[in-house]
Every structure is written in structure tokens, then in C-alpha cells.
């Protein structure tokens, strides 16, 4: 991993911590979670990874690419999401990088397919390791406790001022959970504004707090997670659905040298701009990968 990830001031009072190139193979917020998840999979002797996501899932692609570096094959179960150029681009790379892909109609079908894939692998003598949607288990969340502690170090060294709040996209919740846990552990409980871009059953405050607590317990840490505010105003018609505000936000990001994708980061950055006040600096967490993936990047037994 390329750590620490850089921090810079986009314009007065608006800072970014950029995860885009945290790994040479694939960037974004999934990488820190996968560092812990893949170590756990290896410790358990796994041969294959089984996970789920939407058709354009960054998590599924990151799992397949980084899992391959550990000799692990990835089996993905994919649920629909609105069709965009970005989603098609991601899907082509997922198909190339995964050992198998099962497309289902929704979350119920996904639960059944995940069980079936795991059973099929076990029956053929393989050892499957299940990774939850978004890599957001207490093990994965530890990666973002590391990320938050890294940020505390950068603030302590004066690389950026202590922000008045941190703004991040909220999907499966692991990134926000690790942030509120790690900031408390680092003695800097800065409030986190988590911008909900996924349905409420997946992305809600209770889930984030439960994940943060579970990850802290794994570390044997007896601190209370820092403050969390969930902004529900950016989901629009649903996960991955476009929003008339996004084009302007993407342009604003581009002018500031911040590339944004429509599903997560454009919505979170929109909330970041809307929430900016004169009370103090705001930090935006750039969670999308800035690494361009070729479809030729395959897993050990990749299809495609």
C-alpha cells in the first residue's frame, strides 16, 4: 500500500485525503479493508473468496484484483444497478477479473446464490472465505481504524489543520465505522458526516455504530466511537440513480483537480460543499480508485 495517503487543500478551508492511489493495482476505500480481510482469509487457509455487490461494484473489483495478488480466486454475485457508462466499464473489468460471476435479480436472490456458490466450492475441495458486501465486517473495518489513526498522525504533524468535520460517502458503512472508531482511538473525535448513497436497510446509523463498536472490541479498545451524522439527502431515486445536481458537482470537482464518480463521491462531495460553513476546515475523504484497470487484468483462473 502507498501510505500515508496524501492530504491537500483544494481551496481555503476545504481539504481532501485522497485514497485514489492507495494501491498500485486498485485504489479507493476498499483497499484498507481488504488488507485485513485478505490476511484473515489467508490465516484460515482459504483458496477462494466469495462476495457480492452491484454490477459496477468497486468492492467486487478490488476484491478480485487484490485477492489475485494473494493467489485467491474471487467468485462474485452481482445485483442490478442503473446502467451508466461507469457501471459498464466496471462490469467489464469484474467479468475479466473474477473466477465466476452469478447475476441475480436482487438481495434475496443474492443470499441464496452466495450460499450455493460457497457449497459448490466446498464440495469440490476448495476453502471459500465469505466477504460481506462492501467488505464491511468488523475485520474489514479495522482497515479504516488504521486510516483514521494515520489521519490523526497527519493532523498532529501539522500536515493539515484539525477539521471541524469529515465528509464521506456511506454505502455498506465500514469506512464511516472505522473513521469514528479510529478518530476516538487517536484522541481526535472529529464528527463524521456520512452521506447515504445506498438504501436505508444497508446504510444506517445503527449499523455504522455497531460495526465501529465490534471493530474496537476486536482491538481490545475501550473507547466510545466519535460523533456520527448521517445525511440522507443524496440518495435520490435510489442506489446509483442519477441526480440533476451531479453534473455541476462533477464539474466543480474537476476544476479543483478532484475527479468524482457519480455513485458515491459526487454525492458525498455535493453534501460536503452544501455543508461548508465558516466554522472551520472541512475534510473530504476521496474514496474512489484513481487507477485505470485494463480488462486484461485477470485472476489466477479468471474468465472473461
Residue ranges in contact with ligand PLP by CB under 6 A: 28-29, 58-59, 134, 136, 169-176, 264-265, 287-288
Please give the DSSP secondary-structure letter assigned to residue 157: T
Nearer to ligand PLP among residue 15 and residue 26 (C-beta):
26
State in angstroms the smallest separation of the CB of 2 from ligand PLP: 17
Nearer to ligand PLP among residue 74 and residue 175 (C-beta):
175
Q: Cell 465558516 sits at which residue?
A: 278
Nearer to ligand PLP among residue 47 and residue 242 (C-beta):
242
Question: What gap in Å lies between CA 61 and CA 252, rounded to an integer?
Answer: 27
State in angstroms the smallest separation of the CB of 58 from ligand PLP: 3
β partners of residue 282: 14, 165
Which residue from 23, 8, 9 is spatially nearest to 288, judged by alpha carbons?
23
State in angstroms the smallest separation of the CB of 218 from ligand PLP: 17
Q: How far is CA 151 from CA 63, 172, 190, in A?
A: 24, 21, 11
State in angstroms the smallest separation of the CB of 275 from ligand PLP: 17
State in angstroms the smallest separation of the CB of 196 from ligand PLP: 9
Nearer to ligand PLP among residue 134 and residue 302 (C-beta):
134
Question: What gap in Å lies between CA 116 and CA 149, rounded to an integer?
Answer: 39
Question: What gap in Å lies between CA 196 and CA 259, rounded to an integer?
Answer: 20
Please give the DSSP secondary-structure letter assigned to residue 146: H
Q: Please say whether the dihedral angle defined by the alpha carbons of residues 162, 228, 207 and 236, taken in this order, is positive or negative.
A: negative
State in angstroms the smallest separation of the CB of 36 from ligand PLP: 13
How many CB atoms within 10 Å of residue 120?
Answer: 14
State in angstroms the smallest separation of the CB of 76 from ligand PLP: 14
Nearer to ligand PLP among residue 56 and residue 121 (C-beta):
56
Question: What gap in Å lies between CA 181 and CA 225, rounded to an integer?
Answer: 5
Nearer to ligand PLP among residue 121 and residue 293 (C-beta):
293
Q: Which three cell numbers stand for residue 106?
A: 436482487
Nearer to ligand PLP among residue 121 and residue 141 (C-beta):
141
Amino acid at each position: 500500500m502507498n501510505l500515508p495517503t496524501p492530504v491537500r487543500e483544494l481551496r481555503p478551508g476545504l481539504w481532501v485525503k485522497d485514497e485514489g492511489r492507495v494501491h498500485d493495482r486498485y485504489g479507493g476505500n476498499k483497499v484498507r479493508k481488504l488488507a485485513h480481510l485478505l490476511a484473515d482469509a489467508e490465516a484460515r487457509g482459504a483458496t477462494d473468496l466469495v462476495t457480492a455487490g452491484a454490477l459496477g461494484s468497486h468492492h467486487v473489483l478490488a476484491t478480485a484484483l487484490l485477492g489475485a495478488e494473494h493467489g485467491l480466486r474471487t467468485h462474485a454475485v452481482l445485483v442490478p444497478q442503473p446502467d451508466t457508462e461507469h457501471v459498464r466499464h466496471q462490469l467489464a473489468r469484474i467479468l475479466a477479473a473474477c473466477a465466476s460471476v452469478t447475476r441475480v435479480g436482487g438481495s434475496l436472490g443474492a443470499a441464496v446464490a452466495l450460499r450455493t456458490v460457497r457449497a459448490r466450492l466446498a464440495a469440490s475441495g476448495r476453502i471459500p472465505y465469505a466477504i460481506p458486501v462492501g467488505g464491511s465486517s468488523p475485520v474489514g473495518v479495522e482497515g479504516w481504524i488504521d486510516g483514521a489513526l494515520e489521519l490523526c498522525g497527519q493532523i498532529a504533524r501539522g500536515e493539515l489543520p484539525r477539521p471541524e468535520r469529515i465528509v464521506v460517502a456511506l454505502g455498506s458503512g465500514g469506512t464511516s465505522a472505522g473513521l469514528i472508531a479510529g478518530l476516538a482511538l487517536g484522541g481526535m473525535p472529529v464528527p463524521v458526516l456520512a452521506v447515504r448513497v445506498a438504501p436505508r436497510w444497508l446504510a444506517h446509523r445503527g449499523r455504522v455504530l455497531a460495526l465501529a463498536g465490534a471493530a474496537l472490541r476486536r482491538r481490545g479498545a475501550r473507547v466510545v466511537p466519535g460523533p456520527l451524522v448521517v445525511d440522507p439527502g443524496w440518495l435520490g431515486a435510489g442506489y446509483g440513480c442519477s441526480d440533476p445536481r451531479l453534473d455541476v458537482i462533477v464539474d466543480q470537482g474537476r476544476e479543483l483537480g478532484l475527479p468524482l464518480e457519480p455513485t458515491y463521491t459526487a454525492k458525498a462531495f455535493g453534501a460536503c460543499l452544501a455543508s461548508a460553513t465558516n466554522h472551520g476546515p472541512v475534510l473530504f475523504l476521496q474514496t474512489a480508485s484513481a487507477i485505470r484497470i485494463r480488462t486484461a487484468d485477470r485472476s489466477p483462473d479468471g474468465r472473461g
